[in-house]
Amino acid sequence: MEQGLLHIYCGDGKGKTTCAFGLALRCAGCGYAVRIAQFLKSGETGEVCAIQNIPNVELLRAKQGTKFTFQMNAEERAQAARDHTALLDQAFAQTEHLRLLVLDEIMAACSTGMVNEEHLIDLLLHRPQGLEVVMTGRNPSDRLLELAGYVTEMRKIKHPYEQGIAARRGIER
């Protein structure tokens, strides 16, 4: 089996999750098993609704919360961190049959303390040889950048939000 590589889709621009889901669709379309784990996201988006209809794609999501991490008290943060760590462990469990694992918003999960980055790195270093892993989010650490075979940065030049246009169903959500 080919060596699986690490991909990072990062930056302040739109399209990190869209790119990751596109690769998941390509991989699934070639008949491979895919798992997607979404961190720090809730709600039904177009890509979540669509990907759930693809037979060889498994979608794992964090427990839905009603607060951003900066709004949580210490107890809520501790519980959210336990939930996200459990999601990370579940994402890496029994991956021998997978060709692609997507860790959507894992960078934010690390930077907000919901996931320990050293634990993530240990899981990445001990993954099956052929497992390709995609990680999305802003501000990846130097260590993760070092490990990656692909790093793609989405850079915002202009965004409709700056003109007061909210996220539109089917386009941004």
**Predicted model pTM:** 0.93
**Contact 82/115 with Cβ under 8 angstroms?**
no
Count CB neighbours of 7 within 10 A. Answer: 21
165 versus 68: which is more confidently predicted?
Answer: 165
pLDDT tens for residues 5-31? 999 999 999 999 999 999 999 999 999
pLDDT computed for residue 66 by the predictor? 66
pLDDT tens for residues 98-131? 999 999 999 999 999 999 999 999 999 999 999 9
Domains of the chain with CATH codes: 6-163 (3.40.50.300)
